[in-house]
Amino acid sequence: MDNLNEIIEKLITIAGNGNVLTDKEQLADYSHDETMGLQSFPDLVVKAENTYQVAEVLKLANRFNFPVVPRGAGTGLSGGAVPSSGGVVLSLEKMNRILEIDEENMMIVTEPGVITGVLQAEVEKKGLFYPPDPASLDSCHIGGNLAECAGGARAVKYGVTKDYVVGIEAVLPNGEIIKLGGKLLKNVVGYDLISLIVGSEGTLAVITKIVLKLIPLPKAKIDLLVPFDNYETSSATIVEIIKSKVVPAAIEFMDKESLRACAECLGRELPFPEAEAQILIELDGDDKEYLEKQAEMVGELCLEKGAKDVLVADTKANQDKLWEVRRKISESLKITGVLKVSEDIVVPINQMPTVLHDLQELSKKLNVKIVCFGHLGDGNIHVNLLKKQLTDDTWNRILPEAINGVFDITVAAGGTISGEHGIGLTKKKYLRRVLSEAEIDIMKQIKKTFDPNNILNPGKIFE
C-alpha cells in the first residue's frame, strides 16, 4: 500500500489508536476465513465502533485508493472476507449492540457485529423468533449473514435471511450513509436496494445497522432422527414427506462418512453408525398434540419408504444433542479429511435422489472421496471433496475434474452452484456455468455504479 504511514496516522485519527492493527501476528487473524487453503494478509485492520468511522475509512480509501474488505466473524466459506488484494480489513466486530427489540412491531434493530445465536436467544426471551439458523450461528455475525444472505436448516419452512430484512443503514463505497426501509412490512418505493445489498458479499456497501422482522416463537418442537441404508431412499422419502403437505421446520441430510468424522471429533459413538445416510427432521408449532400426530405420521411414512428406524427426540436436551452433531460436521470433516473442498449446490428438491446417486457415481469414477451433508429439505447440499490419502499430484490433477463433475450434475438437475455460501473468491471462475454474459454484465455495471473506484472488496464474485 502506498503512503502507508500517512494512512495509518489518518486511520488512527478516525478510529483511535487501539482500533488500528498493524502487527503481523494480529493481522494473521484477519488473513483468512473458514475456507480451507485461502490466506492473504491485509496491510492493516481497522475496528470500527460506529457508522461515522466506517464512512470516514471509506472516504480515505477513495482518496488514497486502497481496498477495503468488510469483515464480520470470518466464518465465511467462499473467501469473501479474505483481503486478497491487501489493503484494509474493516472489522465490524465492535459494532455489536442490539439497539432495540420492538415487541409492538415485532422487529429488532441491531448493529451488524452481533452474533446470530445471541440475537436469537435475546428475542426468544420475549417469545419472539428470528428463524434463519446457519450452522455457524454460535460464531457468525448477523451483518455477515446479511452480506451472504445466509440460509440454514430452517429455510424449508421459514426461508432465509433476506426474508426477514426490512431495513438497513449502509455506507456506500464513497463514504455516503444511506438508510433504506425501516420498520415497514410493505415498501415498494423505487428499486429494492435492500434486496440488492443483502447477498452482495460486501461488494456494494458496508451494512452498519439492520432492522429485522420477527415472528412468534413456536411453543413446541419434535425432532426425528431417521437412518437409511442408502442415499437415494433417504432423499426419495423426503420428497414424499413434502408431497404429503407436511412442512417440517428442517430436514437435514448426513451421510455415513460425515457422521463418522463427527463421532471421531466428539469422541463418542453416535446413533445408527451402520446407516449409510441419516435424516434429521424437525417439526415445530404451537399445538403439541397436533405436532405429536404429525411426528407419528412422518415417522410411519419414513418406515414405509424404507427407513431402518426412527429415533424421536422430544426433550430439549435430546434435541440439542442431535443438533450438536449436525452443526459439528463441517468442522469435523476439516479436521479429519486432510484437505477439503466444499461445494454448496442447490437443486429442485425432487431432483435430489438423482443428484445424490450421480455424486456417488462421480466419486467412484474419479476415486475421490465425496462426502455429502446439508439442507436436504430445501435442495441445498454441501458436497465435500476430501483429499484423504491421495498424493498432492493426484489431488491437484483430479480436483478440477471433480468440481466440474459436481457442477455438471447440478446444472443438469436444474440447479445452481451456491445456495448460501456465496461466490467470493472460490467460485468466481465457475460463474459462467450458471449465469449468461448479459447477466454478468448487468451485475458488473451495478458494481461500477456503487463503487466506481473498485474500493470495496475488489476481486470478489467476478474474475
Ligand X SMILES: Cc1cc2nc3c(=O)[nH]c(=O)nc-3n(C[C@H](O)[C@H](O)[C@H](O)COP(=O)(O)OP(=O)(O)OC[C@H]3O[C@@H](n4cnc5c(N)ncnc54)[C@H](O)[C@@H]3O)c2cc1C
Report the nearest approach of ligand X to the CB of residue 383 (Å): 14
In one-letter notation, the amino acid at residue 56 is E
How far apart, in whole angstroms, are the C-alpha atoms of residue 16 and residue 106?
36
Cβ atoms of 349 and 261 within 8 Å: the answer is no
Measured between alpha carbons, how far is residue 140 from residues 118, 194, 211, 386 in Å? 10, 21, 18, 25
How far apart, in whole angstroms, are the C-alpha atoms of residue 228 and residue 233?
7
Residue 342 backbone dihedrals phi, psi, to 5 degrees: -110, 120
In the bound state with ligand X, the residue whose beta carbon lies nearer, of 81 and 123, is 81
Q: Which position among 42, 87, 144, 337 is part of the footprint of ligand X (CB under 6 A)?
A: 144
In one-letter notation, the amino acid at residue 204 is L
Report if residue 80 touches ligand X, rule: CB under 6 A: yes
Cβ atoms of 212 and 91 within 8 Å: the answer is no
Report the nearest approach of ligand X to the CB of residue 92 (Å): 5
Residue range at the interface with ligand X (CB under 6 A); choices 22-30, 129-137, 236-244, 440-448: 129-137
Residue range at the interface with ligand X (CB under 6 A); choices 66-74, 247-255, 345-353, 358-366: 66-74
Residue range at the interface with ligand X (CB under 6 A); choices 4-12, 119-127, 133-141, 238-246: 133-141
Report if residue 221 touches ligand X, rule: CB under 6 A: no
In the bound state with ligand X, the residue whose beta carbon lies nearer, of 76 and 415, is 76
Residue 181 backbone dihedrals phi, psi, to 5 degrees: 65, -150
Residue range at the interface with ligand X (CB under 6 A); choices 135-143, 173-181, 232-240, 444-452: 135-143
Report the nearest approach of ligand X to the CB of residue 9 (Å): 25
H or E, element range at 252: strand 250-255
Report if residue 201 touches ligand X, rule: CB under 6 A: yes
Farthest CA pair distance, the chain: 71
Report if residue 32 touches ligand X, rule: CB under 6 A: no
Q: Which three cell numbers stand for residue 186?
A: 410493505
Q: Which residues pair with 91 in a beta bridge?
A: 47, 71
Q: Which position among 33, 282, 358, 378 is part of the footprint of ligand X (CB under 6 A)?
A: 33
Q: Which residues contact 255 (CB under 8 A, 6 or more apart)?
A: 231, 276, 277, 278, 371, 372, 373
Report the nearest approach of ligand X to the CB of residue 149 (Å): 8
Count, residues near ligand X per rule CB under 6 A: 37
Report the nearest approach of ligand X to the CB of residue 303 (Å): 28
Q: Which position among 38, 81, 88, 277 is part of the footprint of ligand X (CB under 6 A)?
A: 81
Cβ atoms of 4 and 57 within 8 Å: the answer is no
Report if residue 112 touches ligand X, rule: CB under 6 A: yes
Instruction: Read off the DSSP letter of residue 218.
Output: P
Report if residue 154 touches ligand X, rule: CB under 6 A: no
Residue 70 backbone dihedrals phi, psi, to 5 degrees: -65, 145
In the bound state with ligand X, the residue whose beta carbon lies nearer, of 33 and 56, is 33
Q: Which position among 83, 87, 143, 458 is part of the footprint of ligand X (CB under 6 A)?
A: 143
H or E, element range at 278: strand 277-285
In the bound state with ligand X, the residue whose beta carbon lies nearer, of 42 and 134, is 134
Which regions of 256-379 does DSSP assign to beta strands (E)?
Answer: 277-285, 311-313, 340-346, 369-375
Report if residue 330 touches ligand X, rule: CB under 6 A: yes
Report if residue 349 touches ligand X, rule: CB under 6 A: no
How far apart, in whole angstroms, are the C-alpha atoms of residue 51 and residue 171?
8
Q: Which position among 11, 15, 69, 370 is part of the footprint of ligand X (CB under 6 A)?
A: 69
In the bound state with ligand X, the residue whose beta carbon lies nearer, of 343 and 420, is 420
Residue range at the interface with ligand X (CB under 6 A); choices 144-152, 216-224, 264-272, 298-306: 144-152
Report if residue 451 touches ligand X, rule: CB under 6 A: no
Residue list 404-423, contact with ligand X (CB under 6 A): 420-421
Q: Which residues pair with 313 in a beta bridge?
A: 223
Q: Which residues contact 413 (CB under 8 A, 6 or more apart)?
A: 347, 348, 351, 354, 355
Report if residue 235 touches ligand X, rule: CB under 6 A: no
Residue 228 backbone dihedrals phi, psi, to 5 degrees: -135, 160
| Interface positions with ligand X (CB under 6 A) | 33-34, 69-77, 80-81, 92, 112, 134-136, 140-141, 143-145, 147-148, 150-152, 201-202, 206-207, 330-331, 420-421, 457
